[in-house]
Amino acid sequence: MGTFTVCGQYFYGLQKITFTLCGNMDESFSANVISPNILSICDGRSEVKVTFEQLTFKPISCEIASDASTDIESFSVFATCSSKLTDDLRYSDLCGRLINGEALRCKFCEADIVNISDVTEVGQLLPVDSLASSEPNSFFCHSVAQVPEQTGTPLSRTVNNIPSSSALCNGIEMIFNADSWVPLSTQSVPGSEGVFCSRCRIMLGRLVGVGDDAVAVLWTNTVTVWTREVDIDGDYLRHVGLPLIQYDVDFFEFLLSQMLKNNCYRIILSAGTFDRAVDYALIWLFDQRKCLYTTTVDTSKVFSNCDGDNSTRPDTTEIVAERTPISTVLYKVLVSNKQLITQNSRDATLEEWSRDFSVSHLLLPLECCVMLTTFLTQVTRRLPPQLRCSEGFMVGGIPIRK
């Protein structure tokens, strides 16, 4: 058999796993599903048993895909997953860092941005775009109704009412009392919604709203927390800078999950720089979570182990497939990362999406855009080559740590 890859995609909703085997498979090749969670691959001389952790197969449900060939074999079986969802403590951990911290610093140059030494409470922040666009007074149609006059948007009024001892956060974005911001620590650029660090000029957040109602919002993955470190007795050791959100992949999981909740499935992602914003990628979200299993099988090593053995019994090797839960994402990168120059002619799909009112627009720092596509590409590379493209998009995903 030589070297070939084994890929399993378990779909939580369908309770089904699809196996895809890619490589040089001759007539002696055979694959068998063995309870509870083993895929046996044999060519007469060697046998490889691949274990798929946390799954239980139903071999009687096996279905062979119609597009099988000499280089690719695909089949599906029903299966159940034994993994149990645990309490998600990531948001509460983030809030704890805000309460225990003294300042938020730029992740890229360590300049002080927000003073949080007085913050003792972190409240739940609703999606800021909906707060910025809401106009409660416009919903009353009867002239006799006496409604107290309110100025500004719900978002701007919320910021004005936040005490210095509080902050609001939704895991993705944060807002603070205006007096908590370090003077001249950030700046904005005319014609851009980005909020930039005054020292390194890297985008840290965005302005939401228009004119006097515009509110500065910070991304949680662009800042670090300056906090006191103590020993087990509570005695002071030193001050350290810690990431506000511990893993960057968590930020993207929170972000894409919120966009799905808001029924945002197609997104034009723009990269924000101090000079301009560039159309960076097209993102197509699917409300589909699955678990990706991958491994590479090299039967030549098995052959070398059984050379000189006259036994007719195949030599057996056991391996465990690497397991990664992901949220499926289709994407198309529009920009060269090295030169940050768009293609000579605008992408046809970008032109089409730009005219579609149902397509959402998202502006992130260039550094975050690069990081997002890196995560997506890492998942793409784990898929067999035949499964990496669909409808002109690359097939990827965001790893799920929960």
Q: Tell me whether residue 283 is in a domain.
A: yes
Q: Write the pLDDT tens digit of every residue in 91-117.
A: 999 999 999 999 999 999 999 999 999
In this prediction, residue 337 carries a pLDDT of 53
Q: Which of 261, 280, 259 is nearest to 360 (CA)?
A: 259
In this prediction, residue 190 carries a pLDDT of 87
Q: Are 240 and 268 members of one domain?
A: no
Residue 174 pLDDT class (50, 70, 90 cuts): very high
User: What proportion of the chain, given as a percentage, has pLDDT over 70?
Assistant: 83
Q: Tell me whether residue 147 is in a domain.
A: no
Q: How many domains does the chain have?
A: 2
Q: Tell me whether residue 377 is in a domain.
A: yes
Q: Are 61 and 100 members of one domain?
A: no
Q: Are 47 and 115 members of one domain?
A: no
- Residue 248 pLDDT exceeds 80: yes
CA–CA gap between residue 335 and residue 44 (Å, rounded): 49
Q: Tell me whether residue 225 is in a domain.
A: yes
CA–CA gap between residue 106 and residue 270 (Å, rounded): 21
SS (H, E, C) the chain: CCEEEEEEEEECCCCEEEEEEECCCCCCCEEEEECCCEEEEECCCEEEEEECCCEEEEEEEEEECCCCCCCEEEEEEEEEECCCCCCCCHHHHHHHHHHHEEEEEECCCCCEEEECCCCCEEEECCCHHHHHHCCHHHHCCCCCCCCCCCCCCHHHHHHHHCCCCEEEECCCEEEECHHHECCCCEEECCCCCEEEECCCCCEEEEEECCHHHCEEEEECCCEEEEEEEECCCCCEEEEEEEECCCCHHHHHHHHHHHHHHCCCCEEEEEEECCCCEEEEEEEEEEEEEEEEEEEEEEHHHHHHHCCCCCCCCCEEEEEECEEEEEEEEEEEECECCCCCCECCCCCHHHHHHHCCCCCEEEEEEHHHHHHHHHHHHHHHHHCCHHHCEECCEEEEEEECCC
Domain final residue pick, 246, 274, 292: 246
Give pTM, 2 decimals.
0.85
Q: Are 113 and 20 members of one domain?
A: no
Q: Tell me whether residue 369 is in a domain.
A: yes
* Token digits of residue 309: 């053995």
**Mean pLDDT, range 236-259, rounded to an integer:** 91
Q: Are 186 and 242 members of one domain?
A: yes
**Mean pLDDT, range 371-399, rounded to an integer:** 92
Q: At what angle do helices 248-261 and 366-382 cross, to 10 degrees?
A: 90
Q: Are 130 and 228 members of one domain?
A: yes
Describe the strand order of the beta sheet including 215-219 as a list of residue ranges.
121-124, 166-169, 173-176, 215-219, 203-208, 194-197, 186-188
Residue 255 pLDDT class (50, 70, 90 cuts): very high
Domain final residue pick, 246, 277, 296: 246
In this prediction, residue 85 carries a pLDDT of 58
Q: Are 26 and 64 members of one domain?
A: yes
Q: Write the pLDDT tens digit of every residue in 120-171.
A: 999 998 877 777 665 544 434 444 444 455 566 787 788 888 899 999 999 9
Q: Are 111 and 80 members of one domain?
A: no
* Domain with 24 in it: 3-84+261-307+316-399
**Mean pLDDT, range 258-279, rounded to an integer:** 92
Q: Are 218 and 269 members of one domain?
A: no
CA–CA gap between residue 292 and residue 33 (Å, rounded): 17
Q: Which residue has the higher pLDDT, 261 or 145?
A: 261
Q: Tell me whether residue 139 is in a domain.
A: no
Domain final residue pick, 246, 271, 293: 246
Q: Are 61 and 205 members of one domain?
A: no
Do 22 and 38 form a contact (C-beta atoms < 8 A)?
Answer: no
Q: Are 189 and 204 members of one domain?
A: yes
Written as one letter, the residue type at 116 is: I
Q: Tell me whether residue 187 is in a domain.
A: yes
Q: Are 239 and 294 members of one domain?
A: no
Q: Tell me whether residue 255 is in a domain.
A: no
